[in-house]
């Protein structure tokens, strides 16, 4: 059985907008390793389209080792995109989901293979409400970003979590690893 991991970046004030964080070399290296150990990543349309930026880095590397390695890792991992409007992905390692999110995730979790990652805020909310997430990896960036999207703004239930691990980085980033106490 595969594990579903919600991996997301937020600011100290809870903003999960993609542009709000302060990624550095160590953060890129961490996520490169996470992608390399996983078997699949799930995206909603908006986050997927943001991640397509990394295709341009593959075509024109930045010269920054950690960023270029992340681009290679995100290119390599299979991606499943949930969208009603996309007709094609424009990425050879990406496919558009043909079933709804809940059905697909329940089926994928029963299969053999590497962990399943989800990094789209809306999908994390839905999957948390469905109690399908096995682990939350929340990377807190050392910045107050002000107004923006909050990660759990669509949560419809109280869900106690247990902190199982922490990872700190030199620039002040902290990743908190949680499991549900109700699973």
pLDDT in tens, the chain (183 residues): 899 999 999 999 999 987 888 889 999 999 999 999 999 999 999 999 999 999 999 999 999 999 999 999 999 999 999 999 999 999 999 999 999 999 999 999 999 999 999 999 999 999 999 999 999 999 999 999 988 888 888 888 888 999 999 999 999 999 999 998 875
pLDDT value of position 183 = 59
pLDDT value of position 20 = 86
Number of independent structural domains in the chain: 1
Cα(43)–Cα(14) distance, integer angstroms: 20
Q: The tokens of 130 are what?
A: 């469905």
Q: Which residues contact 59 (CB under 8 A, 6 or more apart)?
A: none
Q: What's the half-sphere exposure (Cβ side, CA atoms, 13 Å) at 130? A: 16
Cα(32)–Cα(68) distance, integer angstroms: 10
Cα(44)–Cα(26) distance, integer angstroms: 26
**121: containing domain:** 4-180
CATH number at residue 117: 3.40.430.10
pLDDT value of position 92 = 96
pTM: 0.94
Cα(141)–Cα(102) distance, integer angstroms: 30
pLDDT value of position 112 = 93
């Amino acid at each position: 059985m595969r594990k579903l991991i919600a991996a997301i970046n937020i600011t100290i004030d809870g903003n999960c907008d993609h542009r709000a964080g302060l990624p550095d070399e160590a953060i890129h290296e961490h996520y490169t390793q996470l992608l390399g150990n996983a078997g699949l990543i799930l995206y909603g349309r908006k986050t997927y389209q943001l991640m397509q930026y990394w295709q341009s880095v593959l075509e024109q590397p930045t010269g920054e080792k950690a960023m270029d390695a992340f681009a290679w890792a995100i290119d390599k991992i299979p991606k499943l995109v949930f969208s009603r409007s996309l007709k094609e992905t424009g990425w050879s390692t990406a496919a558009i989901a043909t079933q709804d999110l809940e059905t697909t995730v329940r089926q994928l979790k029963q299969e053999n293979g590497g962990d399943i990652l989800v990094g789209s805020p809306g999908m994390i909310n839905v999957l948390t409400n469905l109690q399908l997430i096995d682990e939350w990896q929340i990377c807190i960036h050392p910045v107050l970003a002000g107004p923006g999207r909050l990660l759990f703004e669509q949560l419809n239930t109280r869900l106690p979590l247990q902190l199982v691990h922490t990872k700190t980085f030199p620039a002040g980033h902290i990743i908190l690893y949680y499991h549900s106490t109700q699973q």
